[in-house]
Amino acid sequence: DSGVTQTPKHLITATGQRVTLRCSPRSGDLSVYWYQQSLDQGLQFLIQYYNGEERAKGNILERFSAQQFPDLHSELNLSSLELGDSALYFCASSAQTGDRVLEQFFGPGTRLTVL
């Protein structure tokens, strides 16, 4: 058990819909990362938050957005869903001192299926 929790575990929805994925980081970790993993594109970094503020952006679509709340949990919002958004979405957390990223601890993931 990494200490990172994600809900829901599975999500099935239709094209055009909007969903919210939730992540609670390990106790004490200020950084939260979101990743998308699919068979054709592998593990893709989406976005990082550090103590409530956006820290880094990766290959995140404009239809996707995220935020980190004062209690440090984070949500990833996916809207106008397309079939190609079907994937595993992982959240990870880490401690971070200064500019150096330390090891990440991954949650179990949310499997999103868009029909």
Closest approach of Cβ 39 to other proteins, in Å? 11
Q: Which is nearer to other proteins, 72 or 94 (CB)?
A: 94
SS3 for 115? Answer: coil
Q: Which is nearer to other proteins, 5 or 65 (CB)?
A: 5
Q: Which is nearer to other proteins, 2 or 80 (CB)?
A: 2
| Interface ranges with other proteins (CB under 8 A) | 2, 4, 33, 42-43, 45, 48, 56, 90, 92, 99-109
The token duo for 11 is: 């999500």
Distance CA 78, CA 85 (A): 9
Tokens 């992540």, residue?
Answer: 23
Closest approach of Cβ 55 to other proteins, in Å? 8
Q: Which amino acid is present at 57?
A: K
Omega before 70 within 30 of 0, i.e. cis: no
